[in-house]
Structure 1
Amino acid sequence: MPLTRIGVAEVLVEHEDVVGFLMAEESRNGRTVALPAWKMTTGDRAVADGVLRAYGGVRRTRGDGRGYDCMLRCDSIAIRVNPRVDITNHLVLRKGEDLVRVCDGSVLLHLASSSGALCSCPVDAFERRAAARAGTGPKPEVRLTFELAEGPELGRFSLFSSSWELADSLRRVLPGTDTNVDRVELVLDLHRKQFATRSGLDVSIVFPAAASLPSK
C-alpha cells in the first residue's frame, strides 16, 4: 500500500474494492478529533443498511450528499484480515504535505537511500509521543482493509487511524511477517478513559485498539 495521506473521497476512487470506511476519529479544522462511537461511512445504501442490521445504530445522509454516515451502537467489531497485505502500520513524520521519513520505531523504511538504516526514534514510548506532539518525531499512520465477521458478504472496508494505542496493539496481536498466515480474526474495540487534569478539569478520551478474537 502506498505511503500517502489519503482522505475518504480519495480512497473511494483509489480502492474500488472498498465499500466503506470505519472511523474512530475525524478531521475538524485541521485537527484530528476522536469520535464518541464507531462511524461507518459508505456510498452504498445497501451496505449502510447491512451494517446497521449487524451492529445497530443510526444512518444519516452525508452533508455533501455523497453517501451515508452510520453511527454504530457497539464498541467492539470483529474483523477478518490478511496481515501480510491488508495492514500498514508505520510511524510517519511529515512537514506540511511533505513526507520526511517513515520508520517502524527501529529502522527507516523510507526514503530509498536510507531504507534499513537505524531511525532516530527514542526507545521510550513516552518520549516518542512527546516528540510527535512537538512535531519533531513521527506519529502512527495505520491502515487496515478488512471484512466484517458479522457481514463478510457486504464487501471490504478500510480504517485509517493515527492512534498510538491501535498501532501498539496491532504489533502485539499480529503474527510475524515471516509466517505464512494469510487470514486473522481480530476485534477492534473503542476504549474510553476519564481523568482529571492538574487544574481539576475532567477529561474523557476515546481511542481504538485491536485484540485477538476470543475463542468460541
Structure 2
Amino acid sequence: MRTPACPSLPPADDVVGRFRSGHQLSERPATLEDWRITTGDPEVADKVYDLFGGHEPQDWQTKGEDSIEVFTAVPEVEVLIEDASKLRQRMVLWSRAGKLVIDSDGSEELVDETPAPFRGPEPLIDLTFRLAAAPEVGRFCLRSRSWNWATDLARHGTAKQLAAIPTPVRACLALEKVSFIAKNGPRAGEWVSYSKPSLALASQP
C-alpha cells in the first residue's frame, strides 16, 4: 500500500511515507526531538526502523492511510532532493469554517470574498525527498507550518540555491531543539521548548 501524497503536491509526487516532528500525547500535541515517520506500507516501516532504529513499527489512529508509525532514534537524516520543485513554500489562510481564504506562493494568490478578520496568512512548507541511504524505497514528504523554518529558508535563500545547483541535491534534514523563556502571552515567564525542522544543503564542488 502506498501512502497518499502530501495534500497540495502534484500527483507525480506520490510518497511512501511522511516525516513528522510531533505526535499526540494524552490527546494534546507534543513535539519530538527525533523524527517520527508514518507510512501505510509495512515494508517501508520495517526499512526505516532498520535504518534509523528507535521503537518498532506500530499502528496508530489516523484518518489517513499512513496508519503505521515509527518513532526513530535520529534527529538528522541525509536526504536527496530531486529538483527545486520538491520544496514548495506558500502562505495560506483558512477561515474558521475550514474554507481556504488565501493560497499564495508568491506568484499566485486566491482570495475568498470574506477573509477572516484579525488573522493573517501562515506559512505552509512541503518538502519531498528520498532517503540518501535507500533512495529505492521511494519518496517521503514533510509538511510544516513553522514560522522559524520559513524564516531560515528565506534567510539562507534555500529555494534559490536548489534552483541554481545540479540535482539531485544531498541535504541534511534535521530537527533542532528551541528553548527559551516566554516574555509575552499566556505563558510569559515559563520555559518553552519545541523542535523545528532544519534543512542544510550539502556543499557543492
- Structures share fold, TM-score greater than 0.5: yes
Query: Match of 2:60, as an amino acid?
Result: R
Aligned to 1:208: 197
Aligned to 1:74: 74
Structure 1 residues 161 and 76, CA gap change in structure 2 (3 angstroms): same
What is the aligned counterpart of 1:35 among 23, 32, 35? Answer: 32
Query: Match of 1:193, as an amino acid?
Result: V
Q: Is 1:168 matched with 2:117?
A: no
What is the aligned counterpart of 1:194 among 173, 176, 179? Answer: 179
Gaps of 5+ in 2: 112-116
- The percentage of aligned residue pairs carrying the same residue is 28
Question: How far did 1:180 drift?
Answer: 7.1
Structure 1 residues 210 and 167, CA gap change in structure 2 (3 angstroms): same
Maintained 8 Å contact 2:87/2:125 = yes
Maintained 8 Å contact 1:175/1:181 = no
TM-score (norm 1): 0.70
Maintained 8 Å contact 1:185/1:212 = yes
Aligned to 1:98: 99
Query: Match of 2:87, as an amino acid?
Result: I
Q: What root-mean-square deviation, in Å, do the aligned CA atoms of Structure 1 and Structure 2 show?
A: 3.5
Maintained 8 Å contact 1:190/1:209 = yes
Gaps of 5+ in 1: 1-8, 113-133
Matches of 1:145 and 1:135, distance apart in 2: 33
Maintained 8 Å contact 2:13/2:139 = no
Bigger mean CA deviation after superposition, 84-93 or 196-205: 196-205
Structure 1 residues 189 and 88, CA gap change in structure 2 (3 angstroms): same
Deviations 1:170-210 (A, max 9, x none): 34233357647442222111111222235542221211121
Structure 1 residues 28 and 103, CA gap change in structure 2 (3 angstroms): farther
Find the residue that maps to 1:111 and give its secondary structure: strand
Find the residue that maps to 2:51 and give its secondary structure: helix
Map residues 46-61 of structure 1 onto 2, 5 A cutoff.
Answer: 46-58=43-55, 59-61=57-59
Query: Match of 1:84, as an amino acid?
Result: A
What is the aligned counterpart of 1:140 among 114, 123, 140? Answer: 123
